[in-house]
Amino acid sequence: MGREVRFAYPPLRIVSLVPSQTELLFDLGLQKQLEGITKFCTHPQNARHQVRVVGGTKNFDFAKIKEARPDLIIGNKEENYQEGIAELAQHYPVWMSNVTDLPEALAMIRRIGAITGKLSLAEPLVATIQNEFNRLLTPAALQPVAYFIWRKPYMVAASGTFIDDMLQRAGFSNVFAHLGRYPEVTPEQLAKAAPARIFLSSEPYPFKEKHLTEFREICPAAVIQLVDGELFSWYGSRLRLSATYFQTLRAAPAAE
């Protein structure tokens, strides 16, 4: 991001403000250095019982962060909010990632490994993820898909997002790729786009089976599926699982 961040190396007291990067820090063996994470840091399962919770990704608890006495805070441009990051940066070293595709995700993993003294563990992790995606062959014809992240209003992942990059690698073409980032869409726009597949993500909105019917009424010819949003949007060590999941998703569309 072109910012210079100075901190004592290696950092001994880290606050992570992004769930996927929190999981990465655990997988790099840094749980003892973690002094603060968000309420959305659900992996590993016991993370929030081991480490102080310092608010959400877009509403920091500044008092709890102060209690954590971090010598490094790790955040992300998209997932955190600018005002909160600016406030923290006045008091602590704040290192930010900016991830919109797989190469940037792999670079982020390497960089976090480097700044925490764990590059020897980060490099094999990057290699594993890259090998998994290398085995994921792109089909001759991409299936048109709409990927929903929110309800009331309907919102989708469109161009310029990490999810859109994952959809392409998984063998799908985004019917809303002509729109930017995370636009609201109407039922009429969805019907006109006529995707062959509609993915309802498990996050940030927790779509459930009960929501399938309303989408069938809009696009009766589409295959509508609940999908694991973490495997499309978490850009840390969870990427080890994504390519296999995408292959399964592509090969076996769920029956309506």
| 3 state SS for the chain | CCCCCCCCCCCCCEEECCHHHHHHHHHCCCCCCEEEECCCCCCCCCHHHHCCECECCCCECHHHHHHHCCCEEEEECCCCCHHHHHHHHCCCCEEEECCCCHHHHHHHHHHHHHHCCCHHHHHHHHHHHHHHHHCCCCCCCCEEEEEEEECCCCEECCECCHHHHHHHHHCEEECCCCCECCCECCHHHHHHHCCCEEEEECCCCCCCHHHHHHHHHHCCCCEEEEECHHHHHCCCCCHHHHHHHHHHHHHCCCCC
Has residue 39 got a pLDDT over 80? Answer: yes
pLDDT band for position 20 (50/70/90)?
A: very high
pTM: 0.92
The whole-number pLDDT of residue 252 equals 61
Nearest-Å Rg of the Cα atoms of the chain is: 19
Chain segment 56-114, per-residue pLDDT in tens: 999 999 999 999 999 999 999 999 999 999 999 999 999 999 999 999 999 999 999 99
Chain segment 175-232, per-residue pLDDT in tens: 999 998 999 999 999 999 999 999 999 999 999 999 999 999 999 999 999 999 999 9
Chain segment 111-162, per-residue pLDDT in tens: 999 999 999 999 999 999 999 999 988 787 889 999 999 999 999 999 999 9
The whole-number pLDDT of residue 253 equals 59
Has residue 243 got a pLDDT over 60? Answer: yes
The whole-number pLDDT of residue 3 equals 83
Instruction: Give the count of beta carbons closer than 10 Å to the beta carbon of residue 54.
Output: 25
Query: Minimal CA–CA distance to 69: which of 85, 52, 49?
Result: 52
The whole-number pLDDT of residue 201 equals 97
The whole-number pLDDT of residue 141 equals 84
Domains in the chain and their CATH numbers?
14-133 (3.40.50.1980), 143-251 (3.40.50.1980)
pLDDT band for position 15 (50/70/90)?
A: very high
Q: Tell me how far apart the alpha carbons of residues 95 and 89 are, in angstroms, rounded to a whole number.
A: 9
Has residue 255 got a pLDDT over 50? Answer: no
